[in-house]
Amino acid sequence: MSLDNEHLEYPKRRYGMDHDRYEWSILQERPSITWPSHKKLAIWINVCLEFFPLNQSGTPFPPSGGMTMPYPDLRHFSLRDYGNRVGIYRILKALDAINAKATFSINGQLTERAPYLMDILKERGDEIIAYGWNMDSIHHSGMSLDEEKALIERTIDKLSKYSNKNILGWLSPSRNESKYTPELLASAGLSYFCDWVNDDMPYLFHTDNGELWAMPLSNELDDAFIMMNNLHSEQSYLDQICDAADFLLNEAQTEGGRILALNIHPWMSGQPHRINKLEAVLHYIKTLPDVMFANGTDIVNIVSN
Amino acid sequence: MLEDLELYDYWPYHHRPKITWPNNARLAFWVAPNIEFYELDPPLNPSRKAWPQPYPATQGYSIRDYGNRVGHVRQMRILDKYGVRGSISLSTALCEHHPEIIQMCLEREWEFFSHGIYNTRYTYGMSETQEREMIDDAVNTIEKYTGRKPSGYLAPALSHSELTMDLFAEAGGIYTCDLFHDDQPTPVKVRSGKQFISIPYSLEMNDTIAYVVNKIEPRRYGQIIKENFDRLYQEGADSGTVMCIPTHNYQVSCPHRLKAFEEALDYITGHSDVWVTTGREIAEYFIANYYEISADDINSKQGTL
């Protein structure tokens, strides 16, 4: 027995990428970006507001943070719901304490489940981006085009109605995509998405329906990735973000503007024993020289000029 | 399937012939950056899936691409600072995809060794003819783009066959990084009878094993590297040891991890009697000076039964 010959054939072995989604380019060889007022480091905080349904289908895979016990898994359901009831208010307070601007990525279904919270966010005026319908509505290639299109439209429609704003950004649940997701996002009028984690700066991503900005929302610095997936301590989370901020700020002295992107989950960092570490992170980065807070649209507007 | 491929004989880690590295160094130190290309849509090997998610595996693919777009230059600058020439474990298709990276490494006289064509093509299921074709392709590609055939091998994604060592030795190789049985170079038996050896490459110091499998915190990874060095340096006074840090630009070069890595390199290269070198130089020196005496010593320690 041996493998089929296709295993020794390499049809995409060529200059650049093995697909046509974006150009191959080395970050350090690109023209540098200058932030307004010669700031060096843009701090982009994205707060994830999520709904994990109890009757999780797990298609095409169970979402990280979702139900793991036999139905009804009230333990995980309610612990995630905690984020939208309790954790988020601690986080809003922490953001306000240092006057930080943020982006809120929101599952569309949450508009129906927590309209009070939507009102609060609307009143604050922070940027809201679409984050799929719920955490169990994972976009994947087994979905029909119509089904996926409907999911995207319903999510954007609900969020724009509740925020009274155009929705410009997107994050896919579990950052998973079908092979058509970027096309559908572009035709839905979005200008950026945050699923791909291959860069520290925004770059142009090609779709059949126009270009999207791929925004560098780090997964490696995500609070749940560090503390739930990697099981690192709260203190280590603080150390890691501070080390990242120092590194990027230093790199920005010679390489042009950089972005520190912090993805935050209220059900994780909004816990009483963790919030002080998030506060310490915010305090640390706020006191660094030449930093500015920016949301996703601010960054896209700057880099597209 | 065999119980043991019998690639090497038992060799106790005491009373071995004393190794002294060039300039009386007691420890040979090398860094092996894995510069890899993972395909977005590889053919499915019956023994191992490339990606856990259905196509397109946005997350897994894009973080690996981050290594080439963002991470490579970062790690290279730190290695330059501490006078370390990398020994690259190369997905050889990267010569075609990203020749800019190959050029930077050539300018620094780094070593290139073979890590297969793509890290999404596995050896499992290949016939002898197929594996030879794959190895020859990798060897010839490295020669074409760098001017010299590789001396070393690390099987793609650590996927082996029973014949991997035999075939690589027959393609002109002199060392393998695939075996983790020792802290010193050891002879490896190949069917051609050529002088072929294993060079310690260390899974334990490998950043991807540390960060992804063992989920070690970045600062602790730096500490572990220093402790690994301390003991090997101490033992190297009795007989020369080898320490390797295998790295991946999508792990070690993330902004929250470089500080710990840099501190570890600063510590190691700050010691006297450390030979900062490459895999090939270690292999050539061992074969020229210690291969025969080691083989004789191994033969004398097979017991009396």
Instruction: Looking at the complex, report in whole angstroms how far the Cα of residue B76 sits from the nearest Cα belonging to chain A.
Output: 12
ipTM, two decimals, is 0.96
* A46-100 tens-digit pLDDT: 999 999 999 999 999 999 999 999 999 999 999 999 999 999 999 999 999 999 9
Contact: A13, B70; criterion CB under 8 Å: no
A residues 159..178 contacting B (CB < 8 A): 172, 174-178
User: Residue A245: inside a domain, yes or no?
Assistant: yes
User: Residue A89: inside a domain, yes or no?
Assistant: yes
Beta-strand (E) ranges in chain B? Answer: 27-35, 87-90, 111-114, 152-153, 175-176, 186-188, 196-198, 241-248, 274-276
User: Residue B215: inside a domain, yes or no?
Assistant: yes
Q: Classify A267 as helix, strand or coil.
A: helix
User: Residue B293: inside a domain, yes or no?
Assistant: yes
Contacts of A3 (CB under 8 A, 6+ apart): B45, B46, B125, B126, B127, B130
Instruction: Find the CATH number of the domain harbouring B201.
Output: 3.20.20.370
Determine the residue among B97, B104, B256 to mutate to test chain A binding: the one whose Cβ has the most chain A Cβ atoms within 10 Å.
B256
Structural domain including B156 reads 22-299
Q: pTM value?
A: 0.96
Query: Which H or E run contains B72?
Result: helix B72-81
Nearest chain B residue (CA) to A178: B56
Query: Is A11 in the B-facing interface, judged by CB distances under 8 Å?
Result: no
User: Residue A13: inside a domain, yes or no?
Assistant: no
Q: Classify B27 as helix, strand or coil.
A: strand
* A177-189 tens-digit pLDDT: 999 999 999 999 9
User: Residue A146: inside a domain, yes or no?
Assistant: yes
Taking only the tens of pLDDT, chain B with its 305 residues reads 999 999 999 999 999 999 999 999 999 999 999 999 999 999 999 999 999 989 999 999 999 999 999 999 999 999 999 999 999 999 999 999 999 999 999 999 999 999 999 999 999 999 999 999 999 999 999 999 999 999 999 999 999 999 999 999 999 999 999 999 999 999 999 999 999 999 999 999 999 999 999 999 999 999 999 999 999 999 999 999 999 999 999 999 999 999 999 999 999 999 999 999 999 999 999 999 999 999 999 999 999 87
Contact: A2, B126; criterion CB under 8 Å: yes
User: Residue B272: inside a domain, yes or no?
Assistant: yes
Query: Do B85 and B109 meet the contact criterion of CB atoms below 8 Å apart?
Result: yes
User: Residue B131: inside a domain, yes or no?
Assistant: yes
Query: Do A265 and A105 meet the contact criterion of CB atoms below 8 Å apart?
Result: no
User: Residue B13: inside a domain, yes or no?
Assistant: no
Distance of CA B60 to the CA centre of its chain: 22
Query: Do A291 and A35 meet the contact criterion of CB atoms below 8 Å apart?
Result: no
User: Residue A16: inside a domain, yes or no?
Assistant: no
- Which residues is B243 bridged to in the sheet? B29
Contact: A200, B56; criterion CB under 8 Å: no
Query: Is A12 in the B-facing interface, judged by CB distances under 8 Å?
Result: yes
If one counts every other C-beta atom within 10 angstroms of the C-beta of residue A99, the result is 8
A residues 58..87 contacting B (CB < 8 A): 60-61
Instruction: Looking at the complex, report in whole angstroms how far the Cα of residue A247 sits from the nearest Cα belonging to chain B.
Output: 6
- Which residues is A41 bridged to in the sheet? A258, A291
Contact: B58, A247; criterion CB under 8 Å: no
- Per the structure block, which two tokens stand in for A177? 């995509």
A residues 119..148 contacting B (CB < 8 A): 140-142
Angle between helices B218-236 and A234-255 (to 10 degrees): 90
User: Residue A233: inside a domain, yes or no?
Assistant: yes
- Per the structure block, which two tokens stand in for A189? 């009028």
User: Residue B278: inside a domain, yes or no?
Assistant: yes
Please give the tally of structural domains in chain B: 1
User: Residue A158: inside a domain, yes or no?
Assistant: yes
Structural domain including A184 reads 39-304
Please give the tally of structural domains in chain A: 1
Instruction: Find the CATH number of the domain harbouring A187.
Output: 3.20.20.370
What confidence category does residue A111 fall into, taking pLDDT thresholds of 50, 70 and 90? very high
**C-alpha distances out from residue B114 to A118, B27, B154, B281, Å:** 55, 24, 6, 16
- Cis-peptide into B56, omega within 30 deg: yes
User: Residue A32: inside a domain, yes or no?
Assistant: no
Instruction: Looking at the complex, report in whole angstroms how far the Cα of residue B207 sits from the nearest Cα belonging to chain A.
Output: 14
Q: Classify A8 as helix, strand or coil.
A: helix
Nearest chain B residue (CA) to A198: B66
What confidence category does residue A214 fall into, taking pLDDT thresholds of 50, 70 and 90? very high
- Which residues is A105 bridged to in the sheet? A48, A129
